[in-house]
Chains A and B, each alone.
Chain A
Amino acid sequence: MSWDTVIGLEIHVQLATKTKIFSGASTAYGAEPNTQACAIDLAMPGTLPVLNKQAVNYAIMFGLAIDAEIGQVSAFERKNYFYPDLPKGYQTTQLEKPIVGRGNVEIQLADGSTKNVRIHHAHLEEDAGKSLHEGNFSSKFSGIDLNRAGTPLIEIVSEPDMNNAEEAIAFAKKIHSIVTSLGICDGEMSQGSMRFDVNVSVKPSGTDILGTRTETKNLNSFKFMEEAIKREVERQIDVIEDGGAIVQETRLYNGETKVARSMRSKEEANDYRYFPCPDLLPVIVSDEQVAELRRNLPELPDARQARFTQQYNLSDYDAGILSSDAAMAKYFEAAASTCSDAKLAANWTIGELSARLNSEDLSITNSPVSAQQLAGLITRIADNSISGKMAKEVFEGIWAGEGSADEIIEARGLKQVSDSGALEQMVADVLAANQTMVDDYINTDEAKRKKKLGGFMGQIMKASKGQANPQQVNQILAKKLNELL
């Protein structure tokens, strides 16, 4: 029997505001525990929340980017549950009147096709604090750090419009691309700036009735998300084919052990006793405010991709990769505009640079090689000063902080020899020193002679310590050997 998979996502996006959603405490990442948790974040008696204007604006910007209705009147509810990293005993969130209504996101798939994923809504809410279960304290305790408590989030809820892991990942990456392009989220997944909850169910192929779904919570990387979805789909099919039934439950996936376990089943939780938050009045969004935000909306990934293909003459594929990440797009444009060879700038940004950043787990904003330095390197490749092989060596030098491309080429004596007089002499010397090879070449059938060229090339490149321009040597060599025939 074959099965269809149905996937919906809930995405928590931390908004890049300077302060909390309801207090003036800083949201900067990595501070000492509880140094950014003020009386409001700690739920001290007598405190009242005051909503952050920028958080509201950021949420509206997301709504505009996905072509959604913006709630002119939106309101906050209390979602009640008990956990020590939630000091108030409730999360202030939106249920009945979210700020962002229905919208649409188009995703591109590997086979070149596109698919529309509907957004059910997106709402504003506050993040909880963090519980630490190991530390410099007795094992009877858990340690609570409330620096994150009250950090503004938008929770983006999709319709169950995805049918496999690839589509879910493409959607998640598109949302990442949109929010970073808007500048409303820093997109740092390793710092928890985006977290994904995945709802998965399976049903017999071709049928309409949805199966029971499970929710796997708090995935913070695309890789873990893909693994978690694939494993959950397999698990559900196994359970059903063995005659069992899927239990509606919340699961946690451990990316290191690659094992998911049940966190809680539906009946013992999710009784959140929502009610309107009496501390917050309805939020009114004016038409003028929306129009103003729409006018100043930054370039979105799809528009940028189209511009890159036109302005820099890049392939759809290259333009797609470069434009999906706002920081990468900015880097590429800085490099391309200083080196005048956009295609090379694109290749190096997507290729060598990205690979190196990935292997060192660095983001492009922290790249040891600046866009200007890369442009300097590309200029020397484009004007044939250095070969592709030397370029990699120079790149490593720049990465290691040895200076600019020109400084490294000079210091290491890497300059490619493109002077035709010098090259002619070099070729002539090698031919004179290798008479046996020359005779062998002349006595070989014409059809097979081409293969013999490699031997000469090797000798010449060796003689030049790898600095001869290979294309030019090739031409000169062919010409000189022809003269001997």
Chain B
Amino acid sequence: MSIERQEIEKLATLSRIAINESTITEVSQRLSSVLGLVDQLQAVNTEGVDAMSHPMQATQRLREDEVTELNQREALQATAPETEDGLFLVPKVIE
């Protein structure tokens, strides 16, 4: 199965990833080869086999509902490009 140029562009938009015009062909070929692998897997008969959400035979451990993380805003915002009044600033997201 091959992946069309249009689909690459749509995925790039949804993921907010810029893909250079000159690399689209290469990206398309790489993704197509991954999908080829998936095609092979899909050919296997899985009738009667439950879908697996995780490869390990383990179950989720749960946490007690106790506050363990205290305010570390200063440290966490040290690497942020822009902050003001404790807010992270990002390019305006509303028209």
Give A381 to B64 CA distance when docked, in angstroms. Answer: 50
Question: Which one of A156-164, A273-281, A394-402, A412-420 is at the B interface?
Answer: A273-281
B67/A18 in contact, CB under 8 A: yes
Interface size class of B (residues with CB under 8 A): 35 or more
Residue interface bits B79-93, CB-to-A below 8 A is 1, else 0: 000101111111111
- Residues on B with beta carbons closer than 8 Å to the beta carbon of A271: 10, 14
Q: Could you tell me the dominant secondary structure of chain B's interface residues? A: loop
Whether A24 touches B69, Cβ cut-off 8 Å, given contacts A37-B76, A96-B51, is yes
Given A53-B62, A284-B60, the answer on whether A131 and B93 have CB atoms closer than 8 Å is yes
Task: Tell me which residues across on chain B come within 8 A of A29, comparing CB atoms.
Answer: none
Determine if A24 and B85 form an interchain contact, defined as CB atoms under 8 angstroms apart.
no
User: Knowing A53-B65, A96-B51, A282-B53 touch, does A139 contact B86 (C-beta < 8 A)?
Assistant: no
Per DSSP, chain A at the interface is loop
Whether A145 pairs with B59 at a CB distance below 8 angstroms is no
Q: Does A234 contact B (CB under 8 A)?
A: no
Known A-B contacts A75-B53, A142-B94; A35 and B59 likewise in contact (beta carbons under 8 Å): no
Q: Does A454 contact B (CB under 8 A)?
A: no
Complex Cα–Cα for A146 and B76 (A): 12
> In this complex, what residue of A is CB-closest to B89?
A141
20 more contacts with CB within 8 A, not counting A34-B88, A50-B63, are A23-B69, A25-B69, A34-B73, A34-B76, A35-B73, A39-B72, A40-B69, A51-B63, A97-B53, A135-B84, A141-B84, A141-B89, A141-B90, A142-B91, A142-B93, A143-B84, A144-B90, A271-B10, A283-B60, A284-B60
Which chain B residues have a beta carbon within 8 Å of chain A's beta carbons? 10, 14-16, 51, 53-54, 56, 58-69, 71-73, 76-77, 82, 84-94
> Would you list the 10 A-B pairs with minimal beta carbon distance, nearest first?
A24-B68, A143-B87, A38-B69, A54-B65, A53-B62, A33-B86, A281-B60, A144-B88, A141-B89, A276-B53
